[in-house]
Amino acid sequence: MEYDNRYEGFTITIINDISFLKLLDHPNVVKIIDAVIGKNVVYMVLPLAQTDLSKHRYKPDDIPLVTYPLVQAMGYYFNKKILHLDIKPANILYFEKENQLKFIDFGISR
């Protein structure tokens, strides 16, 4: 993620994204491995996902099976008083090895 250095520091979206991903510990929320700060850029080291939900296709019969864990994850971070605010297919990663969907991008979360 690139950031604008005019404000002498990180934007709130970068701080939110890193801090919420470090705070949350749920099987359906991506766990951040590390964050590396460069010149006007922050690299977030994350597990490798094969695709996201916008590109991965499920059969209609599979939809309840993948929806339930995502709703559980939403309940988990709602209980921690975190609102994602940017839930969309591109922010839900698909991990083929685990056959699992995980939330990402908590940058504009509150």
| Active-site residue, selected from the candidate residues 17, 62, 86, 105 | 86
CA angle 32, 33, 34 (to 5 degrees): 100
Give the position of tokens 């964050």: 35
Residues sharing a CB contact under 8 Å with residue 5, sequence separation 6 or more, in sequence order: 40
* Active-site residue, 86 included: yes
As annotated, the active-site residues are 86
